[in-house]
Structure 1
Amino acid sequence: MARDVKNIEWVEVSLDFNRKPRLIGHLAWKRSERRSYFEFAGDFLSNSLPLSPFKLAASPGAVAAGHAPFEGLHGLFNDSLPDEWGRKLLDRRLQRLGYDHQTLSPLDRLCYVGDRGMGALIYKPQGQLDALEETTLDLDWLADQADLVQQEAPEADIDRLQANQGGSGGVRPKVVVGFNPETGLLVTDNGAGADPAYIPHIVKFKADADPDEIGPEEYAYSLMARAAGVIMPETRLIRGHRGLGYFAAERFDRNLSGRHHVLTLSGLLDADHRVPSVTYGDLLKVTRLLTRDERDVNQMFRRMAFNVLAHNRDDHAKNHAFRMDPDGSWHPTPAYDITYSSGPGGEHNLTIAGEGRSPGLGHLFDEAKASSIKRLNAEEAVEAVRAAIAQWPEFAAQAGLSDRRTAELDHVLNGRGAPHQASQHG
């Protein structure tokens, strides 16, 4: 281990826009209270940006975090921490090195995020694990290692997987890579972004609960969502040497000039994404207050309609996010984690007009009315979504999804063909 970071009492937090880090303040951990305090730097206050406008507005003095839901951390900074898959990899790697990961505070974990997390926030001092040689990547090998981790196999290459997960969240195993569309080569993404030929991507692997063809399936869903008018990142299906298709999406928190500040709905509202704590009504209200742009509100309604009609119920508060421009204005990020999912207990994480288990068109239009969305705009969005979903077999064919899986989901989505037992994801 190059630098051991443990029992940290304070962390320096900076905002890295356009490769020009700017100190925004200091985060301190009060062990007697098991929570953190954040104080903005004076220079930042003199020319501040709304990094967390609802829960941590720029103002003098130290601001305490709540004890829940983020183990004593503010939502703004909790968004930087990997959860589920990324946390498991860090814990396993530290455990192998002889460290008790259970004693790490949230600030200790932020130090291991350092400058390699999602978004534009960076943390010092930086905890460094032994550096690995940068190399071209073999997705089939990485997928095999991810399977071994899920099986708790001791021979899994935890070091390589953890070094390449890049602070990404969620349950699905994934890596961050640089991908060259011209050559098809993938390289380790160390966050530098020095070679413009390699575009930053997130590549996902199969989780235990996923259907076998989750890669082509999510890619087909991304094509369908884009056809419905949902703003999506560029997506690809990258084939490994064994012919397996891995879903890949360009990162919207990075570009050639540097990083973007991104905050999820969970981080904006200090809302626990692990339990139903907010609704689509809340999401639409936040969108209007944050962006002050009805086009963004209409886009978010369209995403809600797509999730309902395309049976994507893994729509929790960390699966909706906003991106801040350097001038402090906010807009929704492109949509992500869009695929068939049964959700927790068969319900949407975010309810639609109070309904989570069986929402329909009536609930969509009730939500539109309650959220002051014009009826004509709501109808246009719903019709565009329905038209795209009706073309599901075409998108599935483009993605190379098997006829059987295509038919299974076509019956669920469009009522066509004989019923099948669709594999439940999410």
Structure 2
Amino acid sequence: MVGKKYDTAKVSIFGKDVGALAEDTTTGIVSFEYFDEWLKTGFAISQKLPLEAGTFSFPTLNYPTYKGLPAAFADTLPDDFGNAVINAWLARQGRDPRSFSALERLLYTGSRGMGALEYTPALADTNKKQDESIKLDSLVAMAQLVLDERNNLDETITNEQAAEQALTGILQVGTSAGGARAKAVIAVNSDRTQIRSGQVNAPKGYEHFLLKFDGVVERSSTSEVFGDPKGFGLMEYAYYLMAKKAGIDISYCELLKENGRAHFMTKRFDRVGNEKVHYQSLCAMDHADFKQPGAYSYEELFTLLRSLRLDRLSALEVFRRMAFNVIARNHDDHTKNWGFVINSANKWELAPAFDLAYSYKPGSPWVDSHQMSINGKRDNFTKQDLLGVVPLSLQGEAEAILHEVHAAVATWREIAEGVGVEPAFLDEIESNHRLNLL
């Protein structure tokens, strides 16, 4: 029923109804209200949506980021690559993608989004054939096609049956993951010989992973981050190993190799088997707009930790990740790359680290300097700038962590050579590490 316009949706989690969304079609602003039963038995699904009666709406939030939605639900929206795939699907249904609202994109996502929030009525029957194996090389080709021709994808495939098969394949895996890069949400078996869609329950013997396509880039675009050049997967895997060595809590990762490419895979922390885990990004939890570089600080993140009543170990973990981002030059440390999960006691915890990779390009409006500031700075930090974000009672432990992270980043060459990072790329990264911080 994609031809029909929808302006309301029901929100559910863990099989229980939470509340309702309603769009003001004049302004495009979407409001949310908890159901009475959830108010009696549930929990606040986000920091900005306290468990209380009444209607929540946030018309002052930056529309390009939050699309008129309360931030908790904007988190579920697909980002650039997922939207490109959805737009191709809409074109085949005869619907102008520009008329497909943010609320309708939530309904398209249905129960397949990252985290645990689900939306009904679902607008797309993409569960068909999701129990079948998928060929990785064909997904890579289709992902590249989406990036090459995302404004007129449907016109690039002249064979109708081939178009339908190709689009069905990428719809099965490529619409629910966030971020700008081309990704697939997959389930993979233990010996890594079979891949299925990860947007539905995985069969026995399969695990849920997020796969980033290696060597898939938007060649015709001026975009700096839409897609990953070939070899990026090897670099990110080396960074994963380096982060582990630095003591960072990060989900298990590995490489999936195919036709000379090395695709980076990370195990999903929002799935435990087929059970869903509720997740909210920092962008949602603190209304910290990830599209405004430098508008949010690490100091504000530490303030949020205190308001969530997270313990000193969580604060030290955030400090460890901050130190790694600084020393290892991950300037892409924006608020969508930090997040929180609800535990079994309905309490918030810091989510495992993700998207820890080399990200620095002089002159770039996005990654010339850090996305989040430290002591009012986005570059040219001193050791005291970093130590100053934690209270005096933690500074001794924080300084020890700085040395641990520094020692781990100093092993970059050894790790990267072992993984097979291309020598020129390895050298570039090494030359830009901030090892002189200590």
- Same fold per TM (> 0.5)? yes
Write the deviation string for residues 24-77 of structure 1: whole angstroms up to 9, x where unpaired.
111111213321111111111112212112x11011122223253212210011
Q: Which amino acid aligns with 2:133?
A: T
Shift, 1:183, TM fit = 4.4
Paired with 2:301 and 2:4, the residues of 1 have a C-alpha distance of 37
Structure 1 residue 123 corresponds to structure 2 residue 131: no
Paired with 1:408 and 1:184, the residues of 2 have a C-alpha distance of 35
Query: Does the Cα contact within 8 Å between 2:74 and 2:284 map onto a contact in 1?
Result: yes
Paired with 1:218 and 1:325, the residues of 2 have a C-alpha distance of 28
1:331 alignment counterpart: 349
1:423 alignment counterpart: none
Q: Which amino acid aligns with 1:384?
A: E
Q: Does the residue aligned with 2:248 lie in a helix, a strand or coil?
A: coil
Write the deviation string for residues 70-94 of structure 1: whole angstroms up to 9, x where unpaired.
1221001100111111112111220
Structure 1 residue 250 corresponds to structure 2 residue 267: yes
Write the deviation string for residues 215-236 of structure 1: whole angstroms up to 9, x where unpaired.
0100000010011011010000
Shift, 1:394, TM fit = 2.3
Q: 1:387 to 1:167 in 2, by over 3 A?
A: same
Q: Which amino acid aligns with 1:248?
A: M
Q: 1:347 to 1:142 in 2, by over 3 A?
A: same
Query: Does the Cα contact within 8 Å between 2:127 and 2:200 map onto a contact in 1?
Result: no
1:198 to 186, 203, 206: 206
Shift, 1:252, TM fit = 0.5
Calculate the TM-score normalised by the size of structure 2: 0.87
Paired with 2:40 and 2:135, the residues of 1 have a C-alpha distance of 48
Unaligned segments of structure 2, at least 5 residues: 158-162, 219-223
Q: Does the residue aligned with 2:33 lie in a helix, a strand or coil?
A: strand
Write the deviation string for residues 136-157 of structure 1: whole angstroms up to 9, x where unpaired.
2232322222222221162373
Unaligned segments of structure 1, at least 5 residues: 417-426
1:300 to 311, 318, 323: 318
1:101 alignment counterpart: 97
Paired with 1:348 and 1:261, the residues of 2 have a C-alpha distance of 28
Task: Summarize the alignment of residues 39-58 of structure 1 with structure 2, pairs less than 5 Å apart.
Answer: 39-53=33-47, 55-58=48-51
Write the deviation string for residues 190-241 of structure 1: whole angstroms up to 9, x where unpaired.
4213x2311100000143444431001000000100110110100001111x
Which stretches of structure 1, 4 residues or more, deviate above 6 A after TM superposition?
none
Paired with 2:3 and 2:177, the residues of 1 have a C-alpha distance of 21
Q: Does the residue aligned with 1:59 lie in a helix, a strand or coil?
A: coil
Write the deviation string for residues 274-315 of structure 1: whole angstroms up to 9, x where unpaired.
112311111121122214311101101110000010000011
Task: Summarize the alignment of residues 219-230 of structure 1 with structure 2, pairs less than 5 Å apart.
Answer: 219-230=237-248
Task: Summarize the alignment of residues 24-423 of structure 1 with structure 2, pairs less than 5 Å apart.
Answer: 24-53=18-47, 55-69=48-62, 70-129=66-125, 132-134=128-130, 135-152=132-149, 154-155=156-157, 157-193=166-202, 195-205=203-213, 206-208=216-218, 209=224, 210-240=228-258, 242-256=259-273, 258-276=275-293, 277-342=295-360, 344=366, 346-369=368-391, 374-413=394-433
Shift, 1:257, TM fit = 5.1
Q: Does the residue aligned with 1:76 lie in a helix, a strand or coil?
A: helix
Q: RMSD between aligned alpha carbons?
A: 2.0
Write the deviation string for residues 380-425 of structure 1: whole angstroms up to 9, x where unpaired.
1111110100111222133222233222222222779xxxxxxxxx
* Number of corresponding residues: 405
Identity of aligned residues (%): 30
Query: Does the Cα contact within 8 Å between 1:146 and 1:161 map onto a contact in 2?
Result: yes
Query: Does the Cα contact within 8 Å between 1:221 and 1:339 map onto a contact in 2?
Result: yes
Q: Which amino acid aligns with 1:143?
A: V
